[in-house]
Every structure is written in structure tokens, then in C-alpha cells.
Amino acid sequence: MSSATVDEVVSKKYEFGFFTDIDADEAPPGLSEDIIRFISAKKKEPQWLLDYRLKAYRHWLTLEEPRWPKVDYPQIDYQDVIYYSAPKRPEDAPKSLDEVDPKLLETYEKLGIPLHERAALAGIAVDAVFDSVSVATTFKETLKEAGVIFCSFSEAVQDHPELVQKYLGSVVPHTDNFFAALNAAVFTDGSFCWIPAGVRCPMELSTYFRINAAKTGQFERTLIVAEEGAYVSYLEGCTAPQRDENQLHAAVVEIVCQKNAEVKYSTVQNWYPGDENGKGGIYNFVTKRGACRGDNAKISWTQVETGSAITWKYPSVILQGDNSVGEFYSVAVTSNMQQADTGTKMLHLGKNTSSTIVSKGISAMRGQQSYRGLVKVNKGAEGARNYTQCDSLLIGDRCGAHTFPYIEVKNPTAQIEHEASTSKVSEDQVFYLRQRGLSEEDAVSLIVNGFCKEVFRQLPMEFAVEAQALLAVSLEGAVG
Amino acid sequence: MLSIQNLHAEVDGQPILKGLTLEVKPGEVHAIMGPNGSGKSTLSNVLAGRDEYTVTQGSVTFRGEDLLDKAPEERAQAGVFLAFQYPVEIPGVGNSYFLKTAVNKKRAAEGKEELDAKGFLKLLKEKMALLEMDAKFKSRDLNVGFSGGEKKKNEVLQLTMLDPALAILDETDSGLDIDALRIVSKGVNSLRDKEHSFIVVTHYQRLLDHIEPDFVHVLKDGRIVKSGDKSLALELEAQGYAGIADAA
Ligand SMILES: Nc1ncnc2c1ncn2[C@@H]1O[C@H](COP(=O)(O)OP(=O)(O)OP(=O)(O)O)[C@@H](O)[C@H]1O
Ligand SMILES: [Mg+2]
């Protein structure tokens, strides 16, 4: 390092060193222990959580940003990022749909998003517009009766600190990777969900989520715990396009699944992908992992990834309990200049554990996509089984699809099956459908939806319909 | 109904149709026969609007409108149906889901109300019964893994469901067993009336035993070289194409 740069770094540090204005709505750009203390103080966090953040931060300083993913983006200046800004005040939000970008509303229409949800999604202060408050209250009542805790992460820290402390970082430790360490240091909010033993969560945790928590943070933290014999189906994100001034996103999701419990986690990710040249799109670096702690536990990840300029994401399952089951169903679309390096890790530790991976990658325009999957069978995992199916569909001839399957087997009784295919949307198929009266875009979207059928089948019903529409919207202009 | 005037078309710079003229009136069935490579499928594809075929001369009007001006889906919605010589497979797309989409696209273009699930299934059941098709073909993926004959039958199912004004059957009889040939013909004949017209491309007289044509044309080297009534087909069956004088 030249002495000039050293000076710069030191002066920057110095600059932040005096940042203690707890009343500020926004932290100045940059990351330091002071900033972390500021965030923690803002959120009135207990000491143990501040200590956790600081530990993560100190570890993060020792790490290098990973360069192995097959994605290309300019160097991120982590000292140029704002790590805390207060939630927007309701008076700053648009007052009615008239103030919302008509283009956005048009997309909601195309996606078939119910009318009453559009206002909330567009960021209009919900209670000012329609009576979803009562809807939300009913949801809350129903969940409370069942003993389910479902709230923001910040609320959980205040109201259920013992649960948060017990499970936070237990699946994705702060040392896990560069982005996970960063998230652990600076996460601002997210969701917390706890299902007590023997309880089947009485509702899909989706509609509620969409109305009330559509605003996700830049460094989101989610923790889901299903105690023995519990069940929950959780849906993150929504098909509506999401914009954010912050380009860098690094979320962490942890799932703990005890004996005989089941967690179904579905994601629809539609962050702004940038323009045709990839300008302005979101960088999405996500660490998602679930642990099947007890016997017969089951975790399913289903994801539909259509947004972001850069996607770096490998939802994984640690199969500790005997007979535990891990599933990963994924549809990822890369169009225009989007790049995605995504896949899964299935780690077999327990006996007779089984995992299924179905990955469907669609590339169009100049989109680039890599599937990266690891199936690891440890010595003790007698009778482990994995089935992997990894299909790529290309639209046009300027896009690319790549597959990097890693298989590590240390137990000879394991059965591993891997199938892969690459196909193109053929002119013959498109013409055939057009001859039956479908427009070119409808034809392509029908073919693409057919390609993704096995994954869409895993989504909650009404969401599957929206996901299909989303695919069509994402691929608009990709043909012809 | 359909008027083709002096049609010239090429593919990859290679002229295939070289001045083809044909008039099809409402209610008529025209059989087109001719040696391999003479341009029968090319004609079908040009009428359906396939991109790769470039029309260099001539005109086609359909129900008084310029057909060549329209996109393939507009032609389909206007009532031109092509039963493909080689139907394509579309994985993951359920046969009945596809049919419902197609039927409703056409209805929408005609300003009719969409068929609801019940109305659609009733119609589908009726047509499948007519074609003696097993119910399992409803839920199977479109043409995927269908045998050659099953694919052709599925084309005719689509034909009867979509009920087009003009149907072009490109060798729909090839690959059909004797029973299937009879059944498929029954399906086609069920649509025959004063309004519906057909262009039936075939190599064999046996299809024309079931679907009786009003006219038979011989296509050779991109032109219609001889036209006649159904007896012409019998003549061809006996003598082959060699005996046909180049009358054009
Ligand atoms: N893409 C292409 N490039 C060059 N020649 C082509 C192309 N497509 C078709 N042809 C040629 O055009 C001619 C007419 O083909 P077409 O398929 O119309 O024949 P057909 O009469 O339907 O024959 P068949 O009875 O065998 O089905 C053939 O010689 C064929 O090789
Ligand atoms: Mg042919």
C-alpha cells in the first residue's frame, strides 16, 4: 500500500471515528466499529448482539471477496456504502396510486397481482389506503392462537431475545463467507419465524408477508425455526418488480428444522436487473442454509430468480438427522446482461438421508448463467441418496449456460444420480404454436413455462400462476 | 375462400414454388398430389406464414384479405389451420392446456367469450370420442413421446377443436394404420359443409377413398401441372407421375 493510500484510509477511519450522532436518520457512508455501534444503538440492541456484530466485523476484515463465481462486476467499494438509514416515514410515501409510476402499475396488471395488494406494493402507506390493517390483525390473531411467532427481526430481538440468541448464526456462522460475515456485522432487519413443537402453521406465511414486509432491507436477516414435528410454508419476496437505490444486497437466511419438522421455503426474486446494458441493477449476494437437525426433518427450497444484475446464491441443506430430506427446486432466468451463479449444496451427514435437486436455467439475450452444485456424502451417511437434474434452456445464440456439479462421496453405499441437458427454444416449436394462434411471445412463454413445470409445481398455487406471468414479463423482447 | 395467384416462393435463395395458381371456394375439398420434393409442404408453410419462406411474386387472398400480409398467428386466428407433416413436441406443456389456450385465442379474435373449464372439457370430450382417443392424451405433454400415428391424430383433434374455415392437411394420412385412417377421416368429414374448405396433401388414393375430394391437382416442380376430379387420383395411382405431361 502506498503511503498516500494509507493516509486516505486512516483519514477515513478518523472521519468516522467521531460519528456518534445517535439522532441521525442516516449513517455516513463507510464501515467501522463506530458505525456498527451506531446501528446497534439505533436498534436498542442488547450487548450480546452488539458483541456478535463486532466479532463478525473483525472477522470480515480478514476475508477477501470471493472471485470464483462466474460473474463479472466492477470492484465494490465497501466504504462507499451507507449501512444504516432510518425507515422511510409514512408522510414521504406516495399517497395514492395516482402518484405511482404508471409503468409499475402496468407490470402489476400483467403479473395479475390482486388489486388490493398493488397499493401496498407500490409503497403507499398501507393503513392510509385500505383496510389491510384489519386483515393483518386477523392474521396476527390466527398465528398467535397457534403459538407461532412471526415478526420482524428487530421485534424478535426485543421480544424474544433468548430464541434469537440461541439460533442466530447457528446455521450460517459469521465466519461462513465474506458476505455472510458482512451481513452479520451490519444487518438492519428481516424476519423471524418460530413454530412451536407439534404445530402446523395455520396459514402460508405469504400473503401477510407480501402486504406488510415487502420492503426488504439491503442486509436482510431471516431466521426460521421449526421445533419438533412443526410445519411451515414460508414465502419470501414477490413477483412485483422491486427497485432499490442500494445496489449491493447481502442477505442471510437460516433455517433450523428439528426432528420430524418440515419447512418449505419459496422465493420469488425480482430485483431490478438493470437496463439493457446492465446499468443500475442490483448485486444480490445471498447465503441461505437450512439444517435438518433431527431425524425425518425436511427442508425444501423453491426459488424463482428473475431479477438482479448479479445473482450469487446457493440455498443449501445440512442433512444431519437420519432419514432427513433436502430439496432444491430452482428456476433462474438471465436476460439482457444479467449474470447468475446459483445452485445448491446438499451435505449428507445422517443415515438414509436423501436430497433432490431440480435446476432449470433459462438464458436469453446476452444473459450468462452457471449452475454450481455440491453433493457431499460424509463417511457416516449410510444409504444416502441424491438425484440431480440440471437443465438449461437457451433463447437465441448470444447467451450462455454453464454447469459445475461437484460430487464428494465418502461412503460407498451412497447412490448419486445426475442428469443434465441443454436445449434451445426451436423455431419449429415457436412456429407450431403461432400456427395455433399464439403470439410469438405467448409461444415462447408457453415453451418456457413447460420447461419449468416441475419447479412451478412446488410453488403455492396462486404464486405459481404469478410466477408464470413473471417469466413472460422477464423474457419480453427476448425473442424476435 | 382462398385465391392463390401466380405464387413464387423461395427458401434460402432457392426457388421452390414457381408460379402456382389455385382457387378454393367455400365447401370445396382440394387434394394436392405430387412427387417428393415438388413443393407441397412449401405451399403449406407459405400459406401458414413460416418465416424461412420468401414470397417473391404473386398473391394470396383469404376471405377477401391479403393473407401474405399477416403474421402466422393472425392467419390462424382468421381461420387457416395447418396439420403439420411433422408435428413438434413441446415438453412440459399439457395437451389440453395448450388446446384450451389455442381455442380461446381464436375465440377472442372472433370476439367470442372465452370457453370456461367446463365448456372446454365438454367440447374436448366430444371431439376425443369422435376420434376414439384415449383420455390419457388430455394430460400428456403436447406430442411428447406420441407415436407417429398418435401425433397425426392429435393434429386432427386440434383441427376439430379449432374448427377453421380452411384446413390444410399435409400428409396427415402418412403413418396412420388402417383403423386410424378411417377414424381421422371421420374427424375431418365431420367438419365438411358449405362453409369449410380443405386442402389435402397426400401421396395415396386410400385417403381420398375416405375424404372424397372435389378436385385433384398434381404439383410438380413448384407448379400445378394437371387438375381434374377425383378420377385423376385413380389415374395417378395406376400410372404414377411419369405419365403426367407438363401442361403448365
Ligand atoms: N431450407 C431449405 N433449403 C433448401 N431447400 C429446401 C429447404 N426446404 C425445402 N427445400 C427443398 O424444397 C423442395 C420442396 O420441398 P417440400 O418439403 O415442399 O416438398 P414436398 O412436396 O412436401 O415433398 P414430400 O412429398 O417429400 O413431403 C425440396 O427439394 C426440398 O429439398
Ligand atoms: Mg411434404
| Tens-place pLDDT, residues A246-259 | 688 899 999 999 99
Q: Is B132 left (phi over 0), alpha (psi -120 to 50) or beta?
A: left
Q: What is the DSSP string of A110-171?
A: HHT--HHHHHHHTT--HHHHSTHHHHHHHHHHHHHHHT-EEEEHHHHHHH-HHHHHHHTTSS
The answer to which of A127-136, B32-41, B42-51 has the lowest mean pLDDT is A127-136
Contact between residue A337 and residue A276 where contact means Cβ atoms under 8 Å apart: yes
Minimum distance, in Å, between the CA of residue A442 and any CA atom of chain B: 10
B76 and A437 within 8 Å at the Cβ level: the answer is: yes
A457: cell is 409445481
- Chain A residue numbers with beta carbons less than 8 Å from the beta carbon of B105 are 436-438, 442
Tell me, what DSSP letter sits at residue B117?
A: H
Nearest by CB to B105, from A426, A427, A438: name it: A438
Query: Alpha-carbon dihedral of residues B141, B143, B148, B152, nearest 10 degrees?
Result: 130
pLDDT at A6: 43
A255: cell is 433455517
B88 has a chain A CB within 8 A of its CB: yes
The answer to which of A50-59, A199-208, A210-219, B53-62 has the lowest mean pLDDT is A210-219
B215 vs B227: CA distance, rounded Å: 7
- For B82, which residue in chain A has the nearest alpha carbon? A435
- The structure's pTM equals 0.84
A426 and B76 within 8 Å at the Cβ level: the answer is: no
B76 and A451 within 8 Å at the Cβ level: the answer is: no
**Cα–ligand 2 centroid distance for B171 (angstroms):** 7
Quickly tell me which residue has 432499490 as its cell. A244
Q: Which residues of A touch B (CB under 8 A)?
A: 426-429, 431-440, 442, 446-447, 449-454
Return mean pLDDT, chain A. Answer: 84
pLDDT at A216 over 90: no
**Cα–ligand 2 centroid distance for B202 (angstroms):** 9
What's the pLDDT tens digit per position in A293-320?
999 999 999 999 888 888 899 999 999 9
pLDDT at B125: 95
Biggest CA–CA distance in chain A, Å, is: 70
From residue B46, give the alpha-carbon distance in Å to each of B39, B42, B245.
10, 6, 26
Quickly tell me which residue has 389455385 as its cell. B22
Burial of A130 from C-beta contacts in 10 A (0-12 / 13-18 / 19+): middle
Contact between residue A230 and residue A259 where contact means Cβ atoms under 8 Å apart: no
- Chain B residue numbers with beta carbons less than 8 Å from the beta carbon of A435 are 48-49, 72-73, 75-76, 81-82, 84
pLDDT at A248: 84
pLDDT at A190: 84
More confident residue, A477 or A390: A390
- Chain A residue numbers with beta carbons less than 8 Å from the beta carbon of B92 are 449-454
- Lining ligand 1 with CB less than 6 A are B 11-12, 14, 16, 34, 36-42, 85
Size of the A and B interface in Cβ pairs below 8 Å: 73
A437 and B105 within 8 Å at the Cβ level: the answer is: yes
Q: Which range has highest mean pLDDT (A96-110, A205-219, A250-264)?
A: A250-264
pLDDT at A209 over 60: no
What's the pLDDT tens digit per position in A102-158?
776 777 777 666 666 666 666 554 443 333 444 556 677 888 899 999 888 888 999
pLDDT class of A282 with cuts at 50, 70, 90: confident
pLDDT at A469: 82
Angle at A411 between CA A406 and CA A413, to 5 degrees: 110
- For B106, which residue in chain A has the nearest alpha carbon? A437
What's the pLDDT tens digit per position in B173-204?
988 999 999 999 999 999 999 999 999 999 98
Closest protein CA for atom 24 of ligand 1? B36
B227 vs B205: CA distance, rounded Å: 15
**Cα–ligand 1 centroid distance for B64 (angstroms):** 29
pLDDT at A404: 92
Best mutation target among B52, B67, B86, B88 (most A Cβ atoms within 10 Å) is B88
- Chain B residue numbers with beta carbons less than 8 Å from the beta carbon of A429 are 88, 90
A440 and B73 within 8 Å at the Cβ level: the answer is: yes
**Cα–ligand 1 centroid distance for B87 (angstroms):** 16
Q: Of B147, B179, B1, B181, whose CA–CA distance to B81 is shortest?
A: B1
Best mutation target among A393, A429, A433, A441 (most B Cβ atoms within 10 Å) is A433
The answer to which of A401-405, B25-29, B159-163 has the lowest mean pLDDT is A401-405
B71 and A450 within 8 Å at the Cβ level: the answer is: no
Minimum distance, in Å, between the CA of residue A438 and any CA atom of chain B: 6
B150: cell is 398418435
Best mutation target among A360, A435, A445, A479 (most B Cβ atoms within 10 Å) is A435
B98 has a chain A CB within 8 A of its CB: yes
**3 state DSSP class of A198:** coil
pLDDT at B244: 72
Return mean pLDDT, chain B. Answer: 93
pLDDT at B216 over 90: yes
Tell me the pairing of strands A262-269 and A231-237: parallel
For residue B222, give the ligand nearest its CA.
1
- The pLDDT > 90 percentage for chain B reads 88
Biggest CA–CA distance in chain B, Å, is: 55
Q: Of A325, A354, A237, whose CA–CA distance to A284 is shortest?
A: A237
More confident residue, A311 or A195: A195
Any residues with CB less than 8 A from the CB of A295 and at least 6 apart, and which? A259, A260, A321, A322, A323, A324, A350
pLDDT at A420: 92
As a residue count, chain B comes to 248
Closest protein CA for atom 2 of ligand 1? B11
pLDDT at A80 over 70: yes
The answer to which of A64-78, A292-306, B67-81 has the lowest mean pLDDT is A64-78
pLDDT class of B113 with cuts at 50, 70, 90: very high
pLDDT class of A337 with cuts at 50, 70, 90: confident
A49 vs A358: CA distance, rounded Å: 37
B46 vs B54: CA distance, rounded Å: 8
B92 and A449 within 8 Å at the Cβ level: the answer is: yes
Contact between residue B7 and residue B21 where contact means Cβ atoms under 8 Å apart: yes
Q: Sign of the C-alpha dihedral, residues B110, B113, B115, B119?
A: negative
pLDDT at B83 over 50: yes
A436 and B105 within 8 Å at the Cβ level: the answer is: yes
pLDDT at A88 over 90: no
**Cα–ligand 2 centroid distance for B51 (angstroms):** 17
Ligand 1 pocket, mutate which of B8, B17, B41 (most atoms under 8 A from CB): B41
Cβ burial A150-175 (10 Å sphere, 16+ → b, else e): bbebbebbeeeeebbeebbbebbbbe
pLDDT at A203 over 70: yes
B72 has a chain A CB within 8 A of its CB: yes
Nearest 5°: phi and psi at A316? -130, 165
Mean per-residue pLDDT, A48-57: 97
pLDDT class of A328 with cuts at 50, 70, 90: very high
B140 has a chain A CB within 8 A of its CB: no
Contact between residue A225 and residue A163 where contact means Cβ atoms under 8 Å apart: yes
Nearest by CB to A429, from B49, B88, B158: name it: B88
| For the CA of B171, the nearest atom of ligand 1 | 27
- For A429, which residue in chain B has the nearest alpha carbon? B88
Cβ burial B45-74 (10 Å sphere, 16+ → b, else e): bbbbbbeebeeeebebebeeeebbebebbb
